[in-house]
Structures are given as C-alpha cells and as structure tokens.
Amino acid sequence: MRAFLAVDVNKELLEKIGEVQNKLAKAEAAVKFVEPENLHFTFKFFGDISREKADEIVGMISEKTKKYSPFEVSIKGVGVFPHLGYIRVLWLGVEDSDQFSKMQMDFDEEFIKMGFKKERSYIPHLTIGRVKGAQNKEALVSIINELETVEIGKTTIKNLVLKESELTPAGPIYTDVKEFQL
C-alpha cells in the first residue's frame, strides 16, 4: 500500500482555506487545488509499503505518541516550493511550529531505524495546490505576494493519522488506516 502519516486539518478552517484557494484561482494559472477532504499536513511519506511494514509503523507510532500532548499552531501565509521563479507547490505555513518540527524529527529518527530515508529539513506546511505549468505565472506570483501574511487561524494538533493513498486519474483517494491520539 502507498502510505503516509498526516495531521488532518481542523474542519472549522476549511472555509478560510477555500477562500485563499479561490483568490489564487483568480490568476487563472495551471493549478490543481487540493480538495477540502484531502487537505492535511504530511508528517512522513512512506511510499509503497507492505502490510507487515504498516503493522510495524503502527506499533511504533502507538508507543511514540504516548509521550506527546496536543498543542496549538497558527496557519498563516501562502508560500511556494521550490521558489517563486519555479513554482510547483502552493502551501500555507505553520507559525509556532517548534513543537511540530521537534516531534517530526523525533519520529523520523525511529523511521530511519525502520529503514526509511531521512527527511530533508522538515518545514511544516499545508499543501493547497500543485502548479502544472507556467500559464499566467505573473498573475499567480502577484496574488501569492498579496497573501504572504494571510491569517487562516489556530488549530490544535491532537492526533496523527496513518493514511493509504490510492492514485486515480481523478486525483488521489485517501483512506484512514489508523488514528493515533496525542
């Protein structure tokens, strides 16, 4: 199965996130926006794994999450990967993300022991769209600049979710495999 570990988005923030996506859509650029039901913070992408490996991951996460408590972060500001000169991903940033980053690094150490690659420097973010071409790039950059300090709101990180990702021509379908409370 193709799997990843995620933090779901607080449902109360979906409307504001949708407003940001709608503003970005006005650029009429070649952007595929993430559907509201698919919005999440990716904590770790595993790729294709066996059911046995998934069980091993579930066991480790079940133990590791016991040492963490829920914490609050602010979602704020539109950013891009890799850079404004060549935009592939549109995202919303996470403010007050120290605990998020520390927790991810702590988990990543365990994932490395399990044979997964080390994450490059982790930047907590919420992917809201993927750019498919250079059409109307200047208009898109202009709107991104207007939204670089937009405030979406606060959310409490209280669980992690192991998700299965099925790629289809219509887009990915995510299925929750197991939820872990902090």
State the first-to-last Cα distance of the chain, in angstroms, to the nearest integer: 25
25: Cβ–Cβ under 8 A, 6 or more apart, which residues? 31, 33
Catalytic-role residue among 44, 76, 125, 163: 125
Cα–Cα distance measured from residue 135 to residue 123, given in angstroms and rounded to the nearest whole number:
27
Cα–Cα distance measured from residue 14 to residue 18, given in angstroms and rounded to the nearest whole number:
6
83 is a catalytic site residue: no
Cα–Cα distance measured from residue 156 to residue 137, given in angstroms and rounded to the nearest whole number:
34
Omega prior to 124 cis, within 30 of 0? no
Catalytic-role residue among 40, 44, 76, 163: 40
Which amino acids are annotated catalytic?
40, 125
